Amino acid sequence: MAAKWTWARDEIAALDVERDYHRIAQLSFVVRYGMPMFLHGLFSVAFVYNVGMPAMARILHRGGRGPILRDTRKRNFDSLTFFGELYRHGEGEPTRRIVDRLLRIHANFPIENEMSLYTLATLSCLPERISQRYMGSGGLGEKECEAQYRFWRAIGELMQIRDIPPSRAEFLAWMRDFERRRFEPTTECSDITAALAREWADYWFPAPLHGFGTGVFHAMIDPELRRALRLPEPSAFQNAMATQGVRALFLAKRLLPDPGERHITDFFGREYGRGAPQIDKVGYQGDGT
């Protein structure tokens, strides 16, 4: 009975992070912590970090014509589906096909290597940053964080991203330094952040609480980054709700049984009645990320 209750934790403990990083990352991020509301919020917040880069914000905004503004939910769920398929397939052939597609798309945009490297950092390092911020040493374990880094480093290498730091600590330090060097407040960043906050709040909160939900969304953004980008400041109560919500998730994962095997597309891939998508047709219709 105990083995069934903690099956994912037991499998993670038995795996070798140097060899089995994909499986550990999938079990940790998707199976154990993959609550839909949290995943939706985390990936949306990661998007905000990316548009802290003025050049990336302009590519995605397109003078108000970008898909992230015109149809935020579809663009967001396409992204969640895309990342879910990478977690599903790891470095397998389906991932290689979608990487080839992305490389062709990216060739049409002025995306520097450092910009791609920072996007990779949000995937590799942001879960650990959020865990440390809310839980300190009581959040994600060492093996889970290391597997996340190694998994996304492997995906980054497939995408021909250069100069990926050789350790998790170095990548996290590089990420923070990049934010200090390259982030600036822009109208495009503010517009995209507002659209993402509205979309998340509209999906998870009843209509009378949509405004409150957008404040909770802003509370999940790192306070220093939020100030640097001149984004709206949440109220003390909204900050408290975000903090308690994330802590409750981590506590629940210690006390409750591990869920069964699952994938991100189980939650978001059917939003438009399409089921799990064909890997070479997932979202990313030319907007540069």
pLDDT of residue 181: 95
The tally of CA atoms less than 13 A away on the side-chain side of residue 4 is 1
pLDDT in tens, 245-281: 999 999 999 999 999 999 998 888 654 334 444 433 3
pLDDT in tens, 189-204: 999 999 999 999 999 9
Query: d(Cα 35, Cα 42) in Å, to the nearest integer?
Result: 10
pLDDT in tens, 131-147: 999 998 778 999 999 99
Q: Where are the domains of the chain?
A: 7-281
pLDDT of residue 136: 86
CA angle 153, 178, 201 (to 5 degrees): 80
pTM of the predicted protein model: 0.90
pLDDT in tens, 73-84: 998 998 898 888
pLDDT at 187 over 70: yes
Question: Which of 142, 111, 155 minimizes the C-alpha distance to 22?
Answer: 155
> Three-state SS for 262?
coil
Chain centroid to Cα 96, Å, comes to 20
pLDDT of residue 271: 47
Query: Which conformational region is residue 31 in: left (phi greater than 0), alpha (psi within -120 to 50 degrees), or beta?
Result: alpha
CB-CB contact of 192 with 44 (8 Å): no
pLDDT of residue 276: 40
What 3 state SS string does 24-71 have?
HHHHHHHHHCCCHHHHHHHHHHHHHHHCCCHHHHHHHHHHHCCHHHHC
Integer CA distances (angstroms), 117 to 2, 44, 195, in order: 41, 18, 24
CB-CB contact of 17 with 150 (8 Å): yes
Amino acid at site 235: S
DSSP state of 18: T
pLDDT in tens, 43-63: 999 999 999 999 999 999 999
pLDDT of residue 103: 79
Question: What is the percent of the chain with per-residue pLDDT over 70, rounded to a whole number?
Answer: 91
Query: d(Cα 41, Cα 47) in Å, to the nearest integer?
Result: 10
